[in-house]
Amino acid sequence: MVTELIFEGYNAPSLVYGIDALFSFNYNGGRSGLVLSSGNTATHLIPVINGKGLVPLTTRLSWGGSQGTDFMLKLLQLKYPGFPSKLANWQAEALIMDHCYVPGDYKEELESYLQPDLLEEKDRVIQFSFTEAVKFEKSQEELDKIAEKRKESGRRLQEQAAKARLEKVECIILYLTVQAGELTESLI
């Protein structure tokens, strides 16, 4: 249906379906290598030899952008458990997009963190907006009113419970009376 729409609706002369990561690898002059295609829910590793992707040998990792966002949220919640408001998924995703990257040489990147001057360049401080919760102090008069309401509620609950017990006892007495009447009739 999509193919028909493209040919008839847009008058396209030709159409190719394929894997976008392989198209990109080919466009950038790649001949042989390992293509890493990362999406929102999964990451695929596709081996390429002489310009042809070996799709049957593709490996799928169940780790993508959404899992990275969840991991960022968990790390922040572990580091800052007293954070006043819950960090939203879109905020964690924005942090990842703005401040995270994949280094070209991982080992060199780790070694650079041992140098204090380079560490200062890479260190980032992010300030979230903070609104302190306003706590209203109740006066003694308000506290007394609340205590009175609680006592009144407790008294009403006790009355309701006593009434329910009385009704239950009356039902049991009625049941036993009916049972006793049936028993005397059966004896006669």
Residue 187: the pLDDT is: 65
Cα 54 to Cα 58: distance, rounded to the nearest angstrom: 7
* Contact between residue 9 and residue 22 where contact means Cβ atoms under 8 Å apart: no
Level-2 CATH architecture, domain 1-62: 2-Layer Sandwich (3.30)
* Contact between residue 18 and residue 49 where contact means Cβ atoms under 8 Å apart: no
- Report which secondary-structure segment, H or E, holds 154: helix 140-187
For residue 178, is pLDDT > 70? yes
For residue 183, is pLDDT > 70? no
For residue 131, is pLDDT > 80? no
Where are the chain's structural domains?
A: 1-62, 64-135, 138-188
Beta carbons within 8 Å of 89's beta carbon, 6+ residues apart? 69, 70, 73
Share the mean pLDDT of the chain. 88
How confident is the model over 81-110, as pLDDT tens digits? 877 567 788 888 998 899 888 898 999 998
Residue 82: the pLDDT is: 73
Residue 113: the pLDDT is: 85
How confident is the model over 135-158, as pLDDT tens digits? 788 888 999 999 999 999 999 999
Residue 130: the pLDDT is: 67
More confident residue, 91 or 134: 91
63 exposed, middle or buried (CB, 10 Å; 0-12, 13-18, 19+)? Answer: middle
